Amino acid sequence: MSATGFMPDAAQIAGIKKELEAYQSERTAIRRSTIWRVPLYLGGLIVAVFALALIFNLAADPAEVWVSTPHVYLYAVAFVAAFFAYFRAVKPVELANSSFRNRLLPIVFGFIENMRLGKGDVPATFAKLPRETIGDYSDSQFDDIISGKYEGFTFELYETAAWRRVEKSDVTLFDGIIVAFDMAKPFPGILVATLKTNTVMGFFREMFGGMQEIKSGGDLDEDYDFRSDNVEAAQPLVSGQMAQALIWLKEAWPGEPARIALSGKDGFLLLPHKKDFFELPASTEALDYKAYIEPMIADMATILATASLVRKIGS
């Protein structure tokens, strides 16, 4: 699925590059200010600690000068305070990155209508995701959240990690992107296509309850576990459109195979991947259009075009 049709035209690219140049100048100025902020903050802390240590020496036993109990507490507090001082000094750079990102992404993703950005919050649609799709997770974490309208349908896309504590270690059940969208035709029940893995399946057995297993009748049955609470409605999709979509995804999506969940009017596409798709480079790196922005547009276009294909299952 080509992303060529979503790329900005020459005028839009020129506008984006102008924004990049302005941002680069702002970021350079802020980084230069940070160069003196860090030694100033840390230097001020060192002077304060040294002064307090001298005062403690006046009351300390001669054998405990510089190493008395109050001194030890002082050094411990100073060690922690040094981290706070450093992050306080570099905070303007982080704020500039976040501000520019929020200004740039709506321009870059011009093919998304009514685009909204979020970060770290629990997405509104996550509660609607059939839990069987991921498994019985105990903890979850969210990074970038992007919502809007594409080709006439609304969507919510979020970078997600979900895991479960097993004995003394965490087992990752999902790490990647989830796209939630309205189905072109609601499915009368729940239908889930997820991977057959021993770790996850152990949790699925606890969760499926009334969900029945369905076979596609093809090679997908070796890799996927299809389950639904409405077998009669699900079987034609598992053998037809859903199977076709998963075969295409298996060839087109790098890494671990995708998962799909349908629940009434809500559809979900889960794309496992450890890549941070929408993050800008560190402030020490030049922000190049070809190296960073163009691949970001291509990734988003491919993800949404794939979601558009999945939402038509059953229609």
Percentage of the residues of the chain whose pLDDT score is greater than 70: 91
Question: Mean pLDDT over residues 215-234, rounded?
Answer: 89
Q: For residue 66, what are its two tokens?
A: 């510089």
For residue 39, count other CB atoms closer than 10 A to its CB: 11
Contact between 227 and 213 (Cβ < 8 Å): yes
Q: Is 157 exposed, middle or buried (0-12, 13-18, 19+ CB in 10 A)?
A: buried
Q: What pLDDT, in 10s, does the model give residues 72-95? A: 999 999 999 998 888 887 777 677
Q: Is 36 exposed, middle or buried (0-12, 13-18, 19+ CB in 10 A)?
A: exposed
- Give the pairing type, strands 139-150 and 153-166: antiparallel
Question: Mean pLDDT over residues 200-209, rounded?
Answer: 50
Higher pLDDT, 105 or 281: 105
pLDDT at position 198, please?
45
Confidence band of 207 (pLDDT split at 50, 70, 90): low
pLDDT at position 4, please?
58
Q: What pLDDT, in 10s, does the model give residues 87-117? A: 887 777 677 667 777 777 888 888 889 999 9
For residue 200, count other CB atoms closer than 10 A to its CB: 21
Please choose, from the candidates 270, 26, 13, the residue with its C-alpha nearest in 3D space to the C-alpha of residue 130.
270
Q: What is the DSSP string of 103-115?
A: HHHHHHTTTSEEE
Q: What pLDDT, in 10s, does the model give residues 36-60? A: 788 888 889 999 999 999 999 888 8
Please choose, from the candidates 283, 300, 241, 311, the residue with its C-alpha nearest in 3D space to the C-alpha of residue 112.
300
Q: What pLDDT, in 10s, does the model give residues 152-171? A: 899 999 999 998 888 778 88
Average pLDDT for the chain: 84
For residue 180, count other CB atoms closer than 10 A to its CB: 23
Q: Check pLDDT > 70 for residue 201.
A: no
Higher pLDDT, 218 or 6: 218
The separation between CA 305 and the C-alpha centre of its own chain, rounded to angstroms, equals 19
Q: How far apart are CA 258 and CA 177, in angstroms?
A: 10
Contact between 243 and 218 (Cβ < 8 Å): yes
The label of the residue with tokens 């905070």 reads: 91
Q: Check pLDDT > 90 for residue 218.
A: no
Higher pLDDT, 34 or 156: 156
Please choose, from the candidates 270, 2, 286, 304, the residue with its C-alpha nearest in 3D space to the C-alpha of residue 137.
270
Beta strands in the chain (DSSP E): 113-119, 139-150, 153-166, 169-195, 212-214, 224-228, 259-272
3-state helix, strand, coil in the chain (%, to 5): 50, 25, 25
